Amino acid sequence: MKKYFISLIVLLALNACSSNEQKTNPLNTEDSTLENTIVALDQNQLKEANLQMAVLEKGTASLDLHLNGKIDVPPTAIASVSIPMGGYVQDINLIPGNYVKKGSTIATIKDPQFVQLQEDYLSAKAKSAYLSQDLERQKLLLQQDAVSKKTFQLLQSEFNTNAIALKGFAEKLQLINIDPVGLTIDKISSKVNLIAPISGYVSKVNINRGKYVAPTEILLEIIDPNDVHAAITVYEKDITFFKEGMKGKVTLANEPNKSYAVSILAVSRNLDDDKSGLLHCHFVAVPKNMVPGMFLTADFSVNNTSAVIVPINAIQRFQGIDYIFIQKSANQFEAKQVTVGNINKTTAAILNPEASEWLGKNIVIENAFSLLGKLMNKSE
């Protein structure tokens, strides 16, 4: 930044503001008018203050961001187990925390409708065999003009209709984990097995023996422990710094001296009511000791980020609100409320959308506290 110096009297009235804390300060209200934020100085005051100023410019910053979050499970790692046809739970031996393997039986459901479905399938299968043979006979007779074309077409239609029904019964059997290919009369059963769709830990069990379950009910949930994510909270002032693929490190609350590498999979495109969003991060190597819900802290370094950068000393804080002072004329300065991004030892990023409109203007970078004091005294 180009720097030059202007002198200003440090106003002795700063001492008076501490004795009148109950008065309202114009900088402490969201509806402050422009007149409340203007500081005008005479030549003597300008001469004695020794303010230092610089041109407000864009620059690059290396920002170190420290965030909080928790271990989370993405939808792709959760399997909700249900059954397309209702029934009564005959057997369940699982509790939350049990590990199951993909393809293993996790519960048994019993209902008469399972028997009916198997009977319907076998009946349609037997009829299909009969109609297929009859269709071949009728085809030969048709070639010999021994049967009408209409009779043949009616039989063809009946065969096709039965084939559709047979296919539908077969699909329904597969939905309840019954293999239609191997089904025979002596294998008809009123019981079906619930099969684990993935390997993982049972997180929820919503059934017990004897309970009737409807097709819409979620009976169990299974979590794949190899696909847990770090869900990291980031507020609006920092969210634009993050991109997919960025690397970072997280530390679990129960292992403060150990960190794990993560990579950003996605940045949420909407903010919650508290103006926060989420970074969905994938672990480079998933630790075996992570449990969904564990709290963590995350650290990211954002290098060479383009931003409106100001020296730390340019920022003045009053009652939790940050300000910088922009020179309007030779002896006038305006307080601008700012949203401060990440701060390092010497500089800070200004995140106001309108900050780009201030580029090229002079800001006070040293002794700005005296201007703040002037505004405080004006309110008395």
Q: What is the mean pLDDT of the chain?
A: 84
User: 339 forms bridges with which residues in the sheet?
Assistant: none
Q: What is the pLDDT of residue 17?
A: 36
Residues 300, 310, single domain; the answer is no
Q: What gap in Å lies between CA 351 and CA 303, rounded to an integer?
A: 16
Give every CB contact of residue 160 below 8 A, 6+ residues apart in sequence.
none
Residue 292 lies inside a defined structural domain of this protein: yes
Residues 256, 291, single domain; the answer is yes
Q: Which of 275, 304, 333 is the last residue of a domain?
A: 304
Residue 239 lies inside a defined structural domain of this protein: yes
Q: What gap in Å lies between CA 201 and CA 95, rounded to an integer?
A: 10
Residues 249, 266, single domain; the answer is yes
Q: Binning pLDDT at 50, 70 and 90, where does residue 176 land?
A: very high
User: For the stretch 139-171, what's the b/e string if a residue is b when 16 or more beta carbons lie within 10 angstroms of its beta carbon?
Assistant: eeebeeeebeeeebeebeeebeebeebbeebbe
Q: Binning pLDDT at 50, 70 and 90, where does residue 65 land?
A: confident
Q: What is the pLDDT of residue 264?
A: 95
Q: Binning pLDDT at 50, 70 and 90, where does residue 342 land?
A: low
- In tens, the pLDDT along 349-369 reads 887 778 888 999 999 998 888
| Most confident segment among 180-184, 273-277, 301-305 | 180-184
More confident residue, 301 or 2: 301
Q: How many CB atoms lie within 10 A of CB 338?
A: 23
Residues 267, 329, single domain; the answer is no
Q: What is the pLDDT of residue 109?
A: 97
At 275, which CATH number? 2.40.30.170
Q: At what angle do helices 149-175 and 112-143 cross, to 10 degrees?
A: 150
- Sign of dihedral through CA atoms 297, 303, 309, 310? positive
Q: What gap in Å lies between CA 350 and CA 338, rounded to an integer?
A: 7
Residue 47 has pLDDT above 90, yes or no: no
Q: What is the pLDDT of residue 162?
A: 96
Domain count, the chain: 3
- In tens, the pLDDT along 99-114 reads 999 999 999 999 999 9
Residue 203 lies inside a defined structural domain of this protein: no
CB 114 within 8 A of CB 176: yes
Q: Which of 304, 333, 348 is the last residue of a domain?
A: 304
Query: Worst-scoring range by mean pLDDT, 4-8, 112-116, 241-245, 350-354?
Result: 4-8
Residues 340, 370, single domain; the answer is yes
Q: Binning pLDDT at 50, 70 and 90, where does residue 11 land?
A: very low
* Percent of all residues in the chain with a pLDDT value above 90, rounded to a whole number: 51
Residues 177, 230, single domain; the answer is no
Q: Binning pLDDT at 50, 70 and 90, where does residue 27 land?
A: very low
More confident residue, 23 or 166: 166
Residue 28 lies inside a defined structural domain of this protein: yes
- In tens, the pLDDT along 110-147 reads 999 999 999 999 999 999 999 999 999 988 888 888 88
Residues 345, 289, single domain; the answer is no
CB 324 within 8 A of CB 95: no
Residues 370, 310, single domain; the answer is yes
Residue 208 lies inside a defined structural domain of this protein: no
At 8, which CATH number? 2.40.420.20
User: For the stretch 215-238, what's the b/e string if a residue is b when 16 or more beta carbons lie within 10 angstroms of its beta carbon?
Assistant: eeeebbbbbbbebbbbbbbbeebb
Residue 126 lies inside a defined structural domain of this protein: yes
Residues 342, 296, single domain; the answer is no
Residue 86 lies inside a defined structural domain of this protein: no
State both tokens at 322. Answer: 């940050």
- In tens, the pLDDT along 178-228 reads 999 999 999 999 999 999 999 999 999 999 999 999 998 999 999 998 889
Domain that holds residue 163: 112-189
User: 289 forms bridges with which residues in the sheet?
Assistant: none
Residues 327, 361, single domain; the answer is yes
Residues 132, 160, single domain; the answer is yes
Give every CB contact of residue 39 below 8 A, 6+ residues apart in sequence.
325, 332, 333, 334, 335, 371, 374, 375
Residue 346 has pLDDT above 90, yes or no: no
* Percent of all residues in the chain with a pLDDT value above 70, rounded to a whole number: 88
Residue 46 has pLDDT above 60, yes or no: yes
| Most confident segment among 116-130, 227-241, 303-317, 360-374 | 116-130
More confident residue, 16 or 45: 45
Give every CB contact of residue 339 below 8 A, 6+ residues apart in sequence.
237, 322, 350, 351, 352
Report H helices in the chain.
14-17, 43-49, 112-143, 149-175, 236-239, 369-378
Residue 272 lies inside a defined structural domain of this protein: yes
Q: Which of 260, 278, 304 is the last residue of a domain?
A: 304
User: For the stretch 310-331, what's the b/e string if a residue is b when 16 or more beta carbons lie within 10 angstroms of its beta carbon?
Assistant: bbeebbbebeebbbbbbbeeee
Residues 56, 69, single domain; the answer is no
